[in-house]
A and B are shown apart, each in its own frame.
Chain A
């Protein structure tokens, strides 16, 4: 007999109202991948789920597999990241852009995406502990999630010919390019901006934290453009992300 109940842990990415008091919850789970499930009665103040199925919450779940949507039967909080983020508007908006990107990068439902899940949990933890500028955490998340998805930008060698001595950033070509391979419209970022992108991709926080505001701004612009070009979608939350 097919077992229709299953257990997994996940991060709530998005919620949508359904009917009188229900919600459809989109969750990125550790083992199952991205799941859409109905949380019945969750909008009632007397709901047993309470705040457990709010976006950003890392939850331990029991789900009942349905034909089109699963149903959440039990939920226990592992880490309520939303509590720390919601009281700080720049962190909240950065976190929202992370959740939206995680949803877009895991296009297929129930296709396991363990590395994306681990990256998201790590990103939310770093964002919530408040130890770094939220824009840096967001850009680091963007670069690494792109790398996991196979779109890592080439930053030290020409993305087209592999030559050293790169000066321009061409989104379409896949990162930094040499003078010969440079395409019209390619940006010419300052060397410290490229160094910041390398630091964020590698997780070198000492170098990233020491960067100047103008290089962070330039880095954010390039990373956002690169992400949205490769996703073939705009990230709606990005226009609401607030810089500190």
Chain B
């Protein structure tokens, strides 16, 4: 045990995800040895992020203002919405530079075993967004695991009567891998979604 504030710092750091007692101690001593200006900057950013960052009132993505940068951008296609589980997924899709529409962040996936049902996600907000008829296509980009697939199935069933074009991101072989290591489900889906080579 260290004295007073040093131990308190180690205890607080130890509450962070993936930080064990040894790592917390190492980070605490790094902070002790660091330039006071750097430490102040870190403390300031930590406070600022909690004070200023909120969730976009339209799509649920993290935003510095009431609406996020993507929802405010008039160049984005308002007719297509890509539905994702978390804000991290928005960043991953934005990196591809393939998608020019808007997003809707659900805040998770349906997981009955964890007690998370459709009412715990931002599905009601999505339905409100679709009510004015401006959106013509919805891309379901939930994770390609069981919970993500179940969420996509639930949404597809819910949206069917609205007559929208509902699409799901393709599943298949990862680029750069070996076919022999692909599992049966992934390989099966790759066959289902094969495309014509027009050369």
Q: Do A and B come from one complex?
A: yes
Interface residues of A (CB under 8 A from B): 14, 19-20, 45-46, 48-52, 54-56, 77, 80, 82-83, 86-89, 92-93, 96-97, 99-100, 236-237, 239-241
When distances are taken between beta carbons in the complex, the residues of chain A under 8 Å from B157 are 89
A-B contact pairs, 9 of them (CB 8 A): A51-B145, A80-B185, A86-B146, A86-B149, A89-B153, A93-B112, A99-B113, A236-B113, A241-B112
Q: Which residue of B lies closest to A241 (CB)?
A: B112
In the complex, which of the residues B115, B153, B186 contacts A87, with contact meaning CB atoms closer than 8 Å? B153
Indicate if the CB atoms of B112 and A236 lie closer than 8 Å.
yes
- A54 lies within 8 A of B112 (CB): no
Complex interface: chain A residues within 8 A of B176 (CB): 46
Rounded to whole angstroms, the CA-CA distance of A158 and B174 in the bound complex is: 60
Q: Are B112 and A97 in contact (CB under 8 A)?
A: yes
Rounded to whole angstroms, the CA-CA distance of A86 and B184 in the bound complex is 16
Given contacts A19-B18, A86-B146, A240-B112, contact A52 B183 (CB under 8 A): yes
Q: Are B150 and A86 in contact (CB under 8 A)?
A: yes
Residue of B nearest to A16 (CB): B114
6 closest residue pairs by CB, A with B? A50-B183, A237-B112, A51-B185, A240-B112, A236-B115, A96-B112
Residues of B within 8 A of A48 (CB): 181
A92 and B150 contact, CB distance less than 8 A:
yes
Please give the residue numbers on chain B whose beta carbons come within 8 Å of chain A beta carbons, in ascending order.
18, 110, 112-115, 117, 145-146, 149-150, 153-154, 157, 174, 176-177, 181-186, 188
Known: A50-B183, A55-B113, A89-B157. 11 other contacts (CB 8 A): A45-B174, A46-B176, A50-B185, A50-B186, A51-B186, A54-B146, A82-B146, A86-B150, A89-B153, A237-B112, A237-B113
Complex: how many Å from CA A77 to CA B183? 8
Bound form: Cα–Cα A236–B116 in Å: 9
Interface of B is mostly: helix
Find out whether the CB atom of B185 lies under 8 angstroms from the CB atom of A88: no
State A240–B112 Cα separation when bound (angstroms): 6
| Of B114, B153, B177, B183, the contact of A86 (CB 8 Å cutoff) | B153
CB B151 to nearest CB in A, in angstroms, measures: 10
Q: Are A54 and B182 in contact (CB under 8 A)?
A: no
Q: Decide if B153 touches A92 in the complex (CB within 8 Å).
A: yes
CA distance A19 to B23 in the complex (A): 14
Alpha-carbon separation in the docked complex, A206 to B11 (Å): 62
A51 to B187, CA, bound (A): 10
B8 smallest CB distance to A (angstroms): 25
Contact among A14, A80, A89 for B150, CB-based, below 8 A: A89
Shortest Cβ distance from residue B115 to the other chain A in the assembled complex, whole angstroms: 4
Enumerate chain A residues within 8 angstroms of B18, measured Cβ to Cβ: 19-20
Q: How far is the CA of A48 from the CA of B157 in the complex (A)?
A: 32
> Chain A residue with minimal CB distance to B178?
A48
* Chain B min CB distance to A93 (Å): 6
Residues of A within 8 A of B188 (CB): 83
Q: Which residues of A contact B177 (CB under 8 A)?
A: 46
Give A172 to B96 CA distance when docked, in angstroms: 59
Contact among B113, B153, B186 for A96, CB-based, below 8 A: B113
| Complex Cα gap A172–B118 (Å) | 33
Indicate if the CB atoms of B183 and A88 lie closer than 8 Å: no
Contact call B183/A239, Cβ cutoff below 8 A: no
The CA of A131 and the CA of B185, in the complex, are separated in Å by 22
CA distance A88 to B149 in the complex (A): 10
A189 to B157, CA, bound (A): 34
**Once the chains are docked, how many angstroms separate the CA of A45 from the CA of B183?**
12
Contact B146 A55 (CB under 8 A): yes
A80 to B154: give the CA distance in the assembly, Å: 20
Q: How far is the CA of A88 from the CA of B156 in the complex (A)?
A: 11
In the complex, what distance in Å separates the CA atom of A56 from the CA atom of B188? 17
CB distance from A39 to the nearest CB of B (A): 12
Residues of A contacting B112 in the complex (Cβ-Cβ under 8 angstroms) = 93, 96-97, 100, 236-237, 240-241
Give chain A residues whose Cβ lies under 8 Å from the Cβ of B182: 50
Say yes or no: A14 contacts B185, CB within 8 Å. no
Alpha-carbon distance between A99 and B111 when the two chains are bound, in angstroms? 12
Beta-carbon contact of A80 and B184 below 8 Å = yes
